Chain A
Amino acid sequence: MHEMSLAVGILELIEEAARVQKFRRVLAVEVEIGELAAVEAEAISFCFSAVTRATLAEGARLQIVHVAGQGLCFNCHQTVLLAALYDPCPACGGHPVQATGGTEMRVTELEVE
């Protein structure tokens, strides 16, 4: 959805970290993107390379770690893997399933020098 703003958000986190940690170049950025998060991994990679041009993260690899979606089925009361927000429960076929995991969008680690 809003990948450009999110890519700028990633760069802001990197720049804040650079001020604190005193590094000058970023080689790789690891981000965790939940399967249920409102973001397209391909689009964020494209936007990331665009917003990092002429910054300390220019050319950095964006490593996206996909986190599986998880939900609690209100029908069978099981915690189940969920591929999309509106999917029926894969265990019992029932509705609704409340998402409990896989909605995160986080920068987890940087490789810097």
Chain B
Amino acid sequence: MCTTCGCGAGQVRVAGEPVPAAGSTDAVAAQDSQQAGKYRLAGAPASTAGDQGSSGRRARWHAHASPDAHPHPHPLEDMHAVGDAAAPAVAAGEHRHHGHDDGHAVATAPSRLVQIERDILASNDAYAAANRRRFEEQGIFALNLVSSPGSGKTSLLCRTIELLKTRLPLAVIEGDQQTSRDAERIRATGVPALQINTGKGCHLDAHMVGHALQTLSPVDDSLLLIENVGNLVCPAAFDLGEAHKVVILSVTEGEDKPLKYPHMFAAASLMLLNKIDLLPYLSFDVEQAIAHAWQVNPGLRVIQLSATSGEGFDEWLAWLDEGCATVPGRKRTTIDGLRRPIAELESLLSSAARC
């Protein structure tokens, strides 16, 4: 359990179905070839120098044939180790001794240094890269919408969808801790929507979104709107493979939110200042709020709008059109792009066979 935000693992559901935890195996499969050889022995002890070579000798990653992280089989033996890590209470209770059969050799082995030089979010970033490849192959413009709870994200999405659905294929991924109420609201507009329930988790990650994409199967050349869990803190750090993060701030919140939660505003490309129809009844200082946002992120684009009155939507829709038009390639036919649906179907068949 996270001491900061109370999040945990093991309760993630995509459209009500449990999702296996992110495993290191498929994370490795998703590594680009540039990751090969990142591990390096820095200082082999003298007694073993003959075996291990001199300082700086490189050890290679084991190569995986699969070009894509999704779909992936989640081998149980690899998942197990990660599962233990994600559930410390259970692991502590059982107190398993990994590698105990070789314990004597371990106790006497000399220590050595291993240089890694890898980002802590490498696993998430590998899944995000796989999602991003899929978006590029299919010409999908994907946005990650982030905000506090109650900023009006879902109302804003519903109005956006109503205005766009006749001229653009759309799909929505909804992230909430519990319930599928938001996805139901979106589906009522006639657009496909999938709910991810993060359980105790406080943000969507790229692995969850990868699974959601398999189920949702957004069509080529579409706009994918991912509504993140209402949280201005954690989703800032987790790349989902989106083209842009869009942060929504409503005028019923404080002008100083960009200063209080700077990471989210720094990570976003666009800020939507929502609920401006309420400004006559509030003491909210729009200029001050925008100045605070620019203090954190000088390049942040700002659009003022109201999901209730529709004011400002022309500018927002124009921004979306512009973004959709700049998706690289607009559905490039690649070998990987052809392999992906085949792999997904095989994955479905094998899981059906297990049931």
- List residues of A whose CB falls within 8 A of some B CB: 1-6, 8-13, 15-17, 19-21, 23-25, 27, 31, 38, 40, 43, 46-47, 50-56, 74, 84-86, 95-96, 98-99, 104-113
B: number of interface residues (CB 8 Å)? 69
A15 near B298 with CB under 8 A, answer no
Kindly identify which residue among B85, B292, B294 contacts A55, using a CB–CB cutoff of 8 Å: B85
Kindly identify which residue among B2, B113, B114 contacts A47, using a CB–CB cutoff of 8 Å: B2
Kindly identify which residue among B119, B234, B259 contacts A105, using a CB–CB cutoff of 8 Å: B119
B114 near A109 with CB under 8 A, answer yes
B116 near A107 with CB under 8 A, answer yes
Kindly identify which residue among B88, B102, B294 contacts A51, using a CB–CB cutoff of 8 Å: B88
Which residues in A have their C-beta under 8 angstroms from that of B115?
108-109
Which residues in B have their C-beta under 8 angstroms from that of A110?
113-114, 116
Q: How far, in angstroms, from A79 to B122 measured CA to CA in the complex?
A: 28
Which residues in A have their C-beta under 8 angstroms from that of B24?
12, 15-16
Instruction: Kindly report which residue of chain B lies nearest to residue A57, judged by CB atoms.
Output: B85
Given A1-B237, A98-B298, are A109 and B116 neighbors across the interface (CB < 8 Å)? Answer: yes
Which residues in B have their C-beta under 8 angstroms from that of A17?
39, 114, 116
Q: Which of B41, B97, B98 gathers the greatest number of chain A CB atoms within 10 Å?
A: B98
Q: How far, in angstroms, from A99 to B2 measured CA to CA in the complex?
A: 27
Q: How far, in angstroms, from A1 to B234 measured CA to CA in the complex?
A: 6
Which residues in A have their C-beta under 8 angstroms from that of B7?
2, 4-5
Decide if B305 is an interface residue (CB 8 Å cutoff). Answer: no
B28 near A16 with CB under 8 A, answer yes
Given A113-B110, A113-B111, are A3 and B3 neighbors across the interface (CB < 8 Å)? Answer: yes
A53 near B88 with CB under 8 A, answer yes
In B24-66, the 8 Å CB interface with A consists of 24, 27-28, 39, 41-42, 59-62
In B80-128, the 8 Å CB interface with A consists of 81-82, 84-86, 88, 91-92, 94-99, 102, 106, 109-124
Count of A-B contacts with CB under 8 A?
178
B234 near A107 with CB under 8 A, answer no
Q: How far, in angstroms, from A27 to B122 measured CA to CA in the complex?
A: 22
Decide if B233 is an interface residue (CB 8 Å cutoff). Answer: yes
Offer 27 A-B interface pairs, CB within 8 angstroms, sorted by A: A1-B236, A2-B2, A2-B4, A2-B234, A6-B121, A8-B9, A12-B122, A13-B118, A13-B120, A15-B82, A16-B24, A16-B28, A20-B61, A21-B114, A23-B112, A23-B114, A24-B106, A38-B236, A51-B86, A53-B92, A55-B81, A55-B85, A85-B266, A86-B259, A95-B295, A111-B113, A113-B106
Q: Which of B3, B59, B202 gathers the greatest number of chain A CB atoms within 10 Å?
A: B3
Instruction: Kindly report which residue of chain A lies nearest to residue B8, judged by CB atoms.
Output: A4
Decide if B205 is an interface residue (CB 8 Å cutoff). Answer: yes
Instruction: Kindly report which residue of chain B lies nearest to residue A11, judged by CB atoms.
Output: B85
Instruction: Kindly report which residue of chain B lies nearest to residue A85, judged by CB atoms.
Output: B262
Given A4-B8, A43-B4, A104-B119, are A113 and B109 neighbors across the interface (CB < 8 Å)? Answer: yes
A55 near B98 with CB under 8 A, answer yes
Instruction: Kindly report which residue of chain A lies nearest to residue B27, judged by CB atoms.
Output: A12
Decide if B203 is an interface residue (CB 8 Å cutoff). Answer: yes
A55 near B59 with CB under 8 A, answer no
Instruction: Kindly report which residue of chain A lies nearest to residue B266, judged by CB atoms.
Output: A85
Decide if B5 is an interface residue (CB 8 Å cutoff). Answer: yes
Which residues in B have their C-beta under 8 angstroms from that of A55?
81, 84-85, 91, 98
Minimum Cβ distance to chain A for residue B57 (Å): 11
Which residues in A have their C-beta under 8 angstroms from that of B124?
5, 9
Given A85-B266, A104-B119, are A112 and B114 neighbors across the interface (CB < 8 Å)? Answer: yes
